[in-house]
Structure 1
Amino acid sequence: MHFNAGTAHTCAGQKRIKMKRDTIAIHGGYEVDPTTKAVAVPIYQTVSYAFDSADHAAALFNLEAEGYRYTRIGNPTTAVLERRVAALEGGLDALCVSSGQAAVNYAVLNVTQLGSNIVSVPQLYGTTHTLFAHILPSQGVTVRFAETDHPQALEKLIDDKTSAIFCESVGNPAGNICDIRALADLAHKHGIPLIVDNTVASPILLRPIEHGADIVLHSLTKFLGGHGTTLGGAIIDSGNFSWKEHASRFPMFNQPDVSYHGMVYTEHFGKGAYLGRCRSFYQRTTGAVLAPLSSFLLLQGIETVALRIERHVQNGRKVAEFLKNDARVKWVNYAGFPESPYHAMAQKYMNGQACSLMTVGIGGGYEAAIKFHDSLKLFTRLVNLGDAKSLACHPASTTHRQMSDEAKRHAGVLPEMIRLSVGIEHIDDIIADLDQALSASTR
């Protein structure tokens, strides 16, 4: 079983050198295979692993020895991905699972119990909202949605049953940028962790742990994978939250787990208690496992994430400026503009850069937005984001369709809204496609 993903800024093994994120994306978590000398990460396409003896097997199952026993619990290919993602985010360790939604689900379940609640910002990805508003309550966990993403709005909802604060660093599709340091300070004031979904920003633009976040999540499917080929999710633990200090609120980490030989996670894993329990309790028993081949493909995508993000950001700004100056467009929600309510947050947390994910209001309302959407030729119409290709969707009729009109507005989803994920194609071709689709929307 995989126990510790290694240090945040170095490769595994003897390469104890500090690296920038661009370099971590290529080298983090792996050295040349000592047996085969393979430079590329091998794909360990196996279900199980042989034991040397009954005693060896017992030591593995008791978590007394490092090693692997079953790919549902740990796999050498996936372990490299976990080390690399943890290093990119500056975390202690990571657990990679089958999808971003599995990561959100596990991350929240791991800190809650029957009767507890979490407090969340309202601007969420549509499926995360469904999980929070409908699935978790049926399991005895309440999610309280604040009116805004301002810390004061969230603090009003915190009580002695609250187990975490949840936010998306950059909301999908709202484009809001949360004040992570303020939310982290609020969470720690009340003795609870801050969980941040960092999918849209990526660790290239923003590292929430550096600003006080305790747990960071990713849909690896998006910018980190980058090519729209592979589902995957990640949970990164900063290792900074003291589960032992807040034992009364988090008994699951501090009392014997009867399902696992009476394991007390804070005693056995120390700072790694959060992911130790997440892997041993949730992934082992419910099985949202990332396949080794998927881990390999995601590693290939991560190698170029820094270069892709640079081009995404450049193209995103040029697209936003084109749309802002076009009379056929009603509004553009882009944090790179000084008039954006989130411009100051972009300066504070993202070095003044804005993501290539943006929303635009098409003049003429819902029907014009549909015409624009259906007339796109280079942009692919789908509900993914962060692909090398330019992508577009109409959230009101797709990702947030199941929500009421009031809930859509609360989440920042308007009828005329188109969500654009600007890709890395030549900017002239991107703008030409937007121009012809805008012309079609006015006919």
Structure 2
Amino acid sequence: MTSDHQPGFSTLAIHAGAQPDPTTGARVTPIYQSTGFVFDDVEHAAALFGLQSFGNIYTRIGNPTQAVLEERVAALEGGTACLAVASGHAAQLIVFHTLMEPGDEFIAARQLYGGSVNQFTHSFKKFGWTAKFVDMDDISAFEKAVTPRTKAIFIESLANPGGRVSDIAAIAAVAKRAGVPLIVDNTMATPYLCRPIEHGANIVVHSLTKFMGGHGNSLGGAIVDAGNFDWSREGRYPALCEPRPDYSGMVLHETFGNFAFAIACRVLGLRDLGPCISPFNAFQILTGIETLPLRMQRHCDNALKVANYLSQHGEVEWVNYAGLPGDRHHGLAQTYLPKGAGAVFTFGVKGGYEAGVAVVSNVKLFSHLANIGDTRSLIIHPASTTHRQLSDAAKKSAGAGPEVIRLSVGIEDADDLIADLAQALAVAAKA
């Protein structure tokens, strides 16, 4: 390849961040199952602890296996740097811990994963942070919700569980006018389908547990720094723009420039809160990412076939899948997700709550569990599980009403998935 050649997505998914092990020559990134790492000398140790040099200190802060994963995710998302952590929830906690002070607010789309709504509504209150929820389709609502205490806007590129598509560029414009970063959870789309930074996002978060790892065997999360936000503007983000007493008065944004946010998340949030990813999980997720392009395309192709089938079924009231031409988010999907509208979507079964429970109780091939993004097809009734803690009104607002069933369509043969749903719907109808 010529020196100016830019590798493609599939090449990056396999090679970004990785080199043969310098000691053994191992081609696959090893699992560096060590808590600590030996320093060259006292000066080397001092430089590492003082952020004058990069390197390994302690696995709670960073690990060589983790470092390869971080470089790969950053490359796939088009960011300047990445921090891998223990889970998607840990990624959100670290991001807001870095941005927020007690009494601060952030704006979030109402259509989010139920666990995120719960984290934002209840757990974050203990830190003195307030989430203001607005409808993801009402761009003016984001604008109206901005106050002097607003520190960020949070959305999902592809909303869980409904599979609704966010107008990232329009919301990014609101965030830019407000002088706050736009945080996009890109878990459901992955960078194969959507790269939010290209549409104006400033921070991207992931549950690597889902499609990125892809095999339902390891927990992980990621924070990607886009490197495109001025953290020193108006002094609104003291963690980045004020001298750090714990680092000899260093100003992180001044020192680290366009990857300062990722550094701050590591040396302030991860260092002190401690939700680090294990080297083994980092290794598993790295291996999963190598087949991400192949898997995601199959996921999308299968999901479209299943959604088409359900949209014509007599026991189904509606299907929310942006890949269907008649869906209200189809146009946005063409803009932001041209390769496919993802693998997770919802449909409403006739008969409400009881019928929804009957369908998930009678599938044979679909697995009834609280996860998405597995190679296996998964099914759940959100109102009785993932969104159970929400009020009835909040469930409906989040797209998790009593009749709603969520599918995460895997990479099996689509005809087998359709046959399984057909027999489960038939049983539910008789019941």
Same fold (TM over 0.5): yes
Structure 1 residues 305 and 352, CA gap change in structure 2 (3 angstroms) = closer
Structure 1 residues 37 and 371, CA gap change in structure 2 (3 angstroms) = same
Equivalent residue for 1:255? 242
Q: Displacement, 1:233?
A: 0.1
Deviates more, 1:70-79 or 1:145-154: 145-154
2:368 equivalent to 1:378: no
In 2: Cα distance, 1:352 partner to 1:283 partner: 35
Match of 1:219 among 201, 207, 214: 207
Q: Displacement, 1:115?
A: 1.3
Equivalent residue for 1:239? 227
Structure 1 residues 148 and 217, CA gap change in structure 2 (3 angstroms) = closer
Aligned residues between the structures: 430
In 2: Cα distance, 1:17 partner to 1:53 partner: 40
* Residues 223 and 385 in structure 1, CA contact (< 8 A), matched pair in contact too: yes
Q: Displacement, 1:17?
A: 4.5
In 1: Cα distance, 2:280 partner to 2:357 partner: 37
Deviates more, 1:148-157 or 1:411-420: 148-157
Deviates more, 1:115-124 or 1:253-262: 253-262
Match of 2:349 among 333, 354, 362: 362
Q: Displacement, 1:248?
A: 2.1
Give unpaired runs (5+ residues) of structure 1: 1-9
Match of 2:116 among 113, 128, 133: 128
In 2: Cα distance, 1:385 partner to 1:252 partner: 34
The two structures have a TM-score, normalised by structure 1, of 0.95
Q: Displacement, 1:15?
A: 8.3
**Deviations 1:14-43 (Å, cap 9, x if unpaired)?**
987511111111111112223322110011
Q: Displacement, 1:359?
A: 0.3
In 1: Cα distance, 2:76 partner to 2:301 partner: 22
Equivalent residue for 1:206? 194
RMSD over aligned Cα atoms:
1.4
In 1: Cα distance, 2:356 partner to 2:104 partner: 41
* Residues 136 and 166 in structure 2, CA contact (< 8 A), matched pair in contact too: no
In 2: Cα distance, 1:16 partner to 1:250 partner: 37
In 1: Cα distance, 2:246 partner to 2:387 partner: 38
* Residues 324 and 330 in structure 2, CA contact (< 8 A), matched pair in contact too: yes
Of all paired residues, the percent bearing the same amino acid is 49
Equivalent residue for 1:5? none
Give unpaired runs (5+ residues) of structure 2: none
Would you identify which runs of 4 or more consecutive aligned residues in structure 1 move more than 3 Å? 14-17
2:55 equivalent to 1:64: no
Equivalent residue for 1:195? 183
Q: Displacement, 1:138?
A: 2.2
Q: Displacement, 1:412?
A: 1.5
Structure 1 residues 200 and 269, CA gap change in structure 2 (3 angstroms) = same
Q: Displacement, 1:352?
A: 6.1
Amino acid at match of 1:130: N
Match of 2:257 among 264, 270, 275: 270
**Deviations 1:243-287 (Å, cap 9, x if unpaired)?**
12x142112211112233323111221111111111000101111
2:398 equivalent to 1:424: no
2:379 equivalent to 1:392: yes
* Residues 162 and 344 in structure 2, CA contact (< 8 A), matched pair in contact too: no
Match of 2:163 among 175, 188, 195: 175
* Residues 301 and 340 in structure 2, CA contact (< 8 A), matched pair in contact too: no
2:153 equivalent to 1:162: no
2:107 equivalent to 1:151: no
Structure 1 residues 182 and 54, CA gap change in structure 2 (3 angstroms) = same
* Residues 383 and 404 in structure 2, CA contact (< 8 A), matched pair in contact too: yes
The two structures have a TM-score, normalised by structure 2, of 0.97
In 2: Cα distance, 1:70 partner to 1:420 partner: 40
In 2: Cα distance, 1:419 partner to 1:368 partner: 13
Equivalent residue for 2:336? 349
**Deviations 1:178-198 (Å, cap 9, x if unpaired)?**
100011111011111100000
In 2: Cα distance, 1:74 partner to 1:47 partner: 10
In 1: Cα distance, 2:338 partner to 2:415 partner: 26
2:61 equivalent to 1:84: no
Equivalent residue for 2:25? 37
Amino acid at match of 2:428: S
**Deviations 1:284-341 (Å, cap 9, x if unpaired)?**
1111000111111001100101000111111101100110111011111110122211
Equivalent residue for 2:173? 185
In 2: Cα distance, 1:16 partner to 1:293 partner: 35
* Residues 247 and 253 in structure 1, CA contact (< 8 A), matched pair in contact too: no
Amino acid at match of 1:203: P
Structure 1 residues 352 and 338, CA gap change in structure 2 (3 angstroms) = farther
* Residues 336 and 352 in structure 1, CA contact (< 8 A), matched pair in contact too: no
* Residues 346 and 352 in structure 1, CA contact (< 8 A), matched pair in contact too: no
Equivalent residue for 2:216? 228
In 2: Cα distance, 1:334 partner to 1:290 partner: 33
Amino acid at match of 1:229: N
In 2: Cα distance, 1:103 partner to 1:196 partner: 12
Match of 1:109 among 97, 100, 115: 97
In 2: Cα distance, 1:16 partner to 1:278 partner: 32
Amino acid at match of 1:109: H
Equivalent residue for 2:9? 21
In 1: Cα distance, 2:307 partner to 2:168 partner: 25
Amino acid at match of 2:284: L
Equivalent residue for 1:3? none
Equivalent residue for 2:84? 96
Equivalent residue for 1:7? none
Structure 1 residues 420 and 272, CA gap change in structure 2 (3 angstroms) = same
Equivalent residue for 1:55? 43
Amino acid at match of 1:253: L
2:425 equivalent to 1:433: no
In 2: Cα distance, 1:71 partner to 1:375 partner: 44
Helix, strand or coil for the counterpart of 1:442? helix
Helix, strand or coil for the counterpart of 1:156? helix
Deviates more, 1:262-271 or 1:115-124: 262-271
